[in-house]
Structures are given as structure tokens and as C-alpha cells.
Amino acid sequence: MSEQGIIFNSNGKQLVAIEHLPELEHQRQPKKGVIIVVGGPQTRVGSHRLFVYLARAL
């Protein structure tokens, strides 16, 4: 799995994200993806790094 930081724009605001990509078998690109959006008063990685573990497991 590779992980890299990315920045993209949405409605004039810059959003920062970490992109998690699986190891590609036979150079096939993933057809679907998941975006995890943090809401509420918590850290970006979630309680006990929950979002990091979730992203890596998916």
C-alpha cells in the first residue's frame, strides 16, 4: 500500500487528505473509492487512530 498527502480545492477552500492506494495486481486501477470525512470536535485521524486503521483495511 502506498500513502501520500494530497491537496485539492472545493468551493474555493483547500482540503488536505491522505490518499491510500493498494498494491496493484497486473497494473489494474481501482474502480471505486471511499472518502472518510471527519465531523465534529475530534482529531483528523479519529479516536485512537480509527480512521487510519479503517483506510488501511479497506
For 32-53, write each residue's pLDDT tens digit.
Answer: 888 887 776 666 666 778 888 8
Q: Which distant-in-sequence residues (6+ apart) come within 8 Å of 55 by Cβ?
A: 18, 20, 34, 36
> What ranges in the chain are assigned the alpha helix state H?
50-57
- Tell me the C-alpha distance between 18 and 3, whole Å: 6
Total tally of structural domains belonging to the chain: 1
| Lookup: cell for 55 | 483506510
Domain span holding position 18: 2-57
- Tell me the C-alpha distance between 55 and 58, whole Å: 5
| Lookup: cell for 3 | 500513502
For 4-37, write each residue's pLDDT tens digit.
Answer: 999 989 999 888 888 888 777 766 776 788 888 7
